[in-house]
Structure 1
């Protein structure tokens, strides 16, 4: 017996993909808060029955779009990191490469970036299904920071987090445990790096720096390098 999906299954997958494509287009015009199954059906020429068969509720559709956005943005970072590793780049250059990749994805897919990093959608609560895709971005950064630590590419911090670790066990598990001194607070610093990167992208994507920065791409590289100093990692700047 030959393996593979049935024509009916292929048709269902194709219809679901087409519905999500329509919804993504509407994210840029209506915004996530105004997205509805009726709007998707009308804009894409889909029947309401077909839309409901794929996504019974609006929140099901939003969840699918959130998962796709997290996976796509993380995939761009992972691809950039693999290329940097293949080129023999040190951790600082790897970090810059993945940050640039995420920046490019964010500008190329601004509605999806807004969906996952913009204002919360009223009435929508992201389910647990979104957690693994959302974890891929910090996992890329954690891998680079771990590689820098193991390669001796980090400078010890001048200020330590006071007291015990400030993190949940799952965050420490993602990194592989608590590093030894003088890097015992490296995971906390990594989260500062992560949040700083996302905050920087929010500023650039939503044009918060356009009236104060003349070259936003170069400024982005500079800001990544400055933020990386918080974990003791040197990031090369320039072309």
Structure 2
């Protein structure tokens, strides 16, 4: 129903009718449409993050560098996004009118940046990062939750690494939005290769080198 109607058109009546159920049967599980949307949002975040976590586990088992791990997990999220465009749209597309995601969606939503943060932290500890040429000016730009997710503020010259990591994360999601919604098809010959290139460019912002050989990392899902 999410695929056919989109999140904005999803109603308990529509779900009941499509499943041959009484509306009361659906309401017994999801009293309100928002309860159903919340369950779908949580499933989408969990499913997409699990794909990234599996890819990272496989890359680490193969002895991959942090850069190769980053490429593996971002490719995994890209593959999930194209295979589940309705779910991708639900969590990263336009907001559903009248719906406000509750606190229950925060932990699942945090799994994606947590995968990225784990890779960046590993790169920092392994000495795989190149120090930035300039730091973020002024007072700290982070909320405590972001610092906690990363495991603390690194020492100089990487004291703004968390801020840079958020740039990497937002660049990844923005790139996926462009590709899933066909915003680059008229300007890029090979969108898959361009994705790898863009991830490598974004990773430069945190001082991480991503392998350029497209055969270096294999995704297993």
Name structure 1 gaps, 5 residues minimum: 1-25
CA deviations on 1:75-112 (whole Å, 9 max, x unpaired) are 00000000000000010000000000000000000000
Q: Which residue of 2 aligns with 1:206?
A: 181
TM-score (norm 1): 0.89
3-state SS of the aligned residue for 2:159?
coil
Aligned equivalents of 1:235 and 1:45: distance in 2?
A: 50
Q: Which residue of 2 aligns with 1:88?
A: 63
Tell which structure's C-alpha radius of gyration is larger: 1
Q: Which residue of 2 aligns with 1:52?
A: 27
Aligned equivalents of 1:31 and 1:87: distance in 2?
A: 39
- Listed as ranges, the matches of 1:152-171 within 5 Å are 152-171=127-146
3-state SS of the aligned residue for 1:73?
helix
Aligned equivalents of 1:117 and 1:166: distance in 2?
A: 23
Aligned equivalents of 1:225 and 1:165: distance in 2?
A: 26
Aligned residues: 214
Q: Which residue of 2 aligns with 1:175?
A: 150
TM-score (norm 2): 0.96
3-state SS of the aligned residue for 2:127?
coil
Q: Does residue 106 of the first structure (1) align with residue 81 of the second (2)?
A: yes
In the TM superposition, residue 164 of structure 1 has moved relative to its aligned partner by 2.4
Aligned equivalents of 1:135 and 1:226: distance in 2?
A: 24
Runs of 4+ in 1 over 4 A off after TM superposition: none
Corresponding residue to 1:137 among 112, 117, 122 = 112
In the TM superposition, residue 44 of structure 1 has moved relative to its aligned partner by 1.6
Q: Which residue of 2 aligns with 1:19?
A: none
Indicate the structure whose relative CO is greater, using CA pairs within 8 Å and at least 6 residues apart.
Answer: 2
CA deviations on 1:114-147 (whole Å, 9 max, x unpaired) are 0000000000000000000000000000000000
In the TM superposition, residue 208 of structure 1 has moved relative to its aligned partner by 0.3
Aligned equivalents of 2:115 and 2:16: distance in 1?
A: 37
Name structure 2 gaps, 5 residues minimum: 216-221
Q: Does residue 147 of the first structure (1) align with residue 122 of the second (2)?
A: yes
Q: Which residue of 2 aligns with 1:36?
A: 11
In the TM superposition, residue 229 of structure 1 has moved relative to its aligned partner by 0.3
Aligned equivalents of 1:161 and 1:167: distance in 2?
A: 11
Q: Which residue of 1 aligns with 2:219?
A: none
